[in-house]
Chain A
Amino acid sequence: MSTAVDEPGVDTPGLAGVTRGELLRAALKVGLLGFGGVMPLARRVFVDECRWLTDREFAQLIGISQVLPGPNVVNLAVIIGSRAQGVPGALVTLTGILFVPVMLLVVLATFYASVAQTGVVQGALAAGSAAGAGLILGTATRLLVHTRPPLRGLATGASAFVAIGILQWPLLLVLPALIALAIAWEWSASR
Chain B
Amino acid sequence: MEREPVSGGVGILAEIAWRFAALSLVAIGGINAILPEIHRTVVDVEHWITSAQFAELFALAQVAPGPNAMVVALIGWKVAGVAGALVATVAVCGPSSVLCYLALRGWHRLRDSPARGIVQRALAPVAIGLVFASGYTLAQGADRTLIAAAMTAIAAAAIAFTRINPVWVLGAAALAGVAGYT
Contact = CB atoms under 8 A, between A and B. Distances in A.
A157 B128 contact: yes
Contact of A135 (B56, B149, B159): B159
Contacts of B177: 123-128
A109 to B, nearest CB: 6
A131 B129 contact: no
B120 A147 contact: no
Contact of B103 (A33, A68, A142): A68
B67 interface: yes
Q: Is the interface of B mostly helix, strand, loop or mixed?
A: helix
A79 B100 CA distance: 8
A122 B64 CA distance: 13
Contact of A190 (B57, B107, B114, B176): B114
A26 to B, nearest CB: 14
Q: Is the interface of A mostly helix, strand, loop or mixed?
A: helix
Contacts of A106: 73-74, 77, 82, 85
Contacts of A10: 107, 120
B10 interface: no
B96 A133 contact: no
Given A127-B174, A127-B177, A70 B136 contact: no
Interface in A4-55: 4, 7, 9-11, 31-41, 44, 48
What bracket does the count of chain A residues touching chain B fall in?
35 or more
B36 to A, nearest CB: 9
Contacts of B45: none
Contacts of B119: 183, 186
A44, A64, A187: which has the most chain B beta carbons within 10 Å?
A64
A77 to B, nearest CB: 8
Contact of B148 (A59, A108, A127): A127
Nearest to B3: A113
Given A157-B125, A160-B132, 10 more contacts: A38-B67, A62-B124, A63-B124, A109-B77, A132-B63, A136-B134, A137-B152, A139-B131, A153-B122, A164-B129
Interface of A: 1, 4, 7, 9-11, 31-41, 44, 48, 56, 59-60, 62-75, 78-79, 82-83, 87, 90, 94, 97-99, 101-102, 104-106, 108-109, 112-113, 116, 120, 123-145, 147, 149, 153-154, 156-161, 164-166, 168, 171-172, 175, 178-179, 182-183, 185-187, 190
27 contacts: A9-B116, A31-B67, A32-B66, A34-B67, A60-B123, A65-B100, A66-B126, A69-B99, A94-B97, A97-B66, A102-B89, A106-B73, A106-B85, A109-B77, A123-B179, A126-B142, A126-B177, A129-B141, A131-B151, A131-B155, A131-B172, A135-B170, A138-B155, A139-B159, A142-B161, A158-B129, A185-B122
Interface of B: 1-2, 24-31, 33, 56-57, 59-70, 73-74, 77, 82, 85-86, 89, 92-93, 95-97, 99-101, 103-104, 107, 111, 114, 116-139, 141-144, 148-149, 151-161, 163, 165-167, 169-170, 172-182
